Chains A and B, each alone.
Chain A
Amino acid sequence: MTASVRVVAEDRTDARFREQVLPELPVLYRVARRLTGADADAEDLVQDTLVKAYRAFDRFDGRYLRAWLLTIMRNHHRNQLRKRRPDLLEDEVAQRLPGRGHDARVDGVDERAFRDDFDPAVRAALASLSTKHRAVVALVDLDGLTYREAAEVLAVPVGTVMSRLHRARGKVRAQLEGRLVEDVN
């Protein structure tokens, strides 16, 4: 391939990258905010993800772009965490997603996610969920990920996402049952 032909081909790759990745930015940023717990860190994480994705875009098979991007983001975030906190266990990484643990930054994200002026009973029900259940609800219901995409972020099987989601929504339902019956009927 001559140099000029190569540049044209690479320009086409650039155009495809931009066209395909731009619509995914809001979801990437939402998930990054959940992973990092801070707006500035989230932006950095998305930027790092974009650089890695851009470099690897020629090798992307064209299927499940969002899941591919989320996997890059999750792996990069885990590597960063390992460097900063090598003592952190793998499953603790997943639990740091919208959790209620000791990390104030993560608590901050939760507050942002759930503080909207809406039925306090819904907020209370969501706040009462365990960290694992809340993470799945946040990724699927608040961030709009599919089961497969949430599974990529959490590094768990799709079936685990489904069962946690079922259980989490069941708990919310149990706490809201009276109001829901009124609404449905």
Chain B
Amino acid sequence: MRRRPQLPLPPEPDCQQVGAVLQSYLDGELGPDDAGIVAAHLEHCQRCEIESATVSKVISVIRRQRPDLDPAPIARLTGFIDELEREGTDTRE
């Protein structure tokens, strides 16, 4: 069973505490203090470092599936914002 993340982390968390926040750490969702504590733990804990590398790899292979975005609709939507602003200003005038 996955342990619930307990934040903020103590200065020297155990492996379970690190494991509970590892996903948030890898997703950049931890604050700088907690992220620093996790990074320091991974420096000296080989078991957690291997786990981190594996989870990181899973995230990476999934994210490589991200489809390219067609620039045409984004360009049209940019034009729409310009139009919106013009009409907004005109209305106010």
Contacts and interface: CB of A to CB of B under 8 A. Distances in A.
Say whether A associates with B. Answer: yes
A146 B29 contact: yes
Grouping DSSP codes into helix (H, G, I), strand (E, B) and loop, the A interface class, with mixed when no group exceeds half, is helix
Nearest to A163: B2
A11 B89 contact: yes
B62 A141 contact: yes
Nearest to A148: B29
Interface in B49-68: 50, 53-55, 57-59, 61-67
B74 A122 contact: no
B55 A21 contact: no
Nearest to A179: B61
Nearest to A43: B73
Contact of B27 (A42, A114, A143, A147): A147
Nearest to B28: A146
Grouping DSSP codes into helix (H, G, I), strand (E, B) and loop, the B interface class, with mixed when no group exceeds half, is helix
A25 B89 contact: no
A42 B74 CA distance: 11
Interface in B64-89: 64-67, 69-70, 73-74, 76-78, 80-82, 84-85, 88-89
Given A118-B65, A169-B58, A184-B57, 19 more contacts: A10-B88, A14-B89, A18-B85, A22-B81, A25-B77, A25-B78, A29-B69, A39-B73, A43-B73, A47-B80, A54-B84, A116-B65, A116-B67, A122-B61, A126-B65, A142-B63, A142-B67, A147-B27, A180-B61
Interface of B: 2, 5, 23-24, 27, 29, 50, 53-55, 57-59, 61-67, 69-70, 73-74, 76-78, 80-82, 84-85, 88-89, 92-93
Q: Which 9 A-B pairs have the closest CB atoms?
A: A14-B85, A141-B62, A173-B58, A142-B66, A184-B53, A141-B63, A180-B57, A122-B61, A25-B77
